[in-house]
Amino acid sequence: MGIIGFGRIGQGTARIAQAFGMKVLAYGGRQNKALENENLKYATLDELLAVSDVISLHCPLFENTKGIINKDTIAKMKTGVMIINTSRRPLVVEEDLADALNSGKVAGAGLDVVSTEPIKSDNPLLTAINCLITPHIAWAPKESRARLMNIAVDNLEAFLSGNPVNVVNS
């Protein structure tokens, strides 16, 4: 599995992938060599694209990540690669991904985000083969919602006790 964006969420994804016996290549962010082991290595983007069976996006949207999945990067991938994007919408050039899905270059895609939400009826991914699109609900499992509620309660309790956390106006 190639993971583009190796912050907290990318690292969590890597732990799950390794639990399933996958070897992981990581790209992006500050490299923490202490995380490397026989099943997890940092790689260049070109190395990751060339050898990954699954590519999962977990990077922020910056100018250098906008459209990171496009016809040129897809051309560098193995035929039959699977692409997952639960990160940011503009990371993928949707027309290029749809073409790659329909040609068989990309075997499948799982997307929790699209360029315009709600999705427009003319989005090329709607008619692409082997493309699963969820309506930006990757956070929806019961455990995720419970965690969000616990964080909200903790924040409120901290505020009421005079020790606010996650303050955005200072």
Q: Would you name the residues annotated as active-site residues?
A: 88, 117, 136
Q: Tell me the C-alpha distance between 66 and 135, whole Å.
A: 20
CB 115 within 8 A of CB 84: no
Tokens (6 digits) for 91 = 């990371």
> Order of strands, edge to edge, in the sheet holding 40-42?
40-42, 24-27, 2-4, 54-57, 81-85, 106-111, 131-133
Tokens (6 digits) for 158 = 């901290």
CA 118 to chain centre: 19
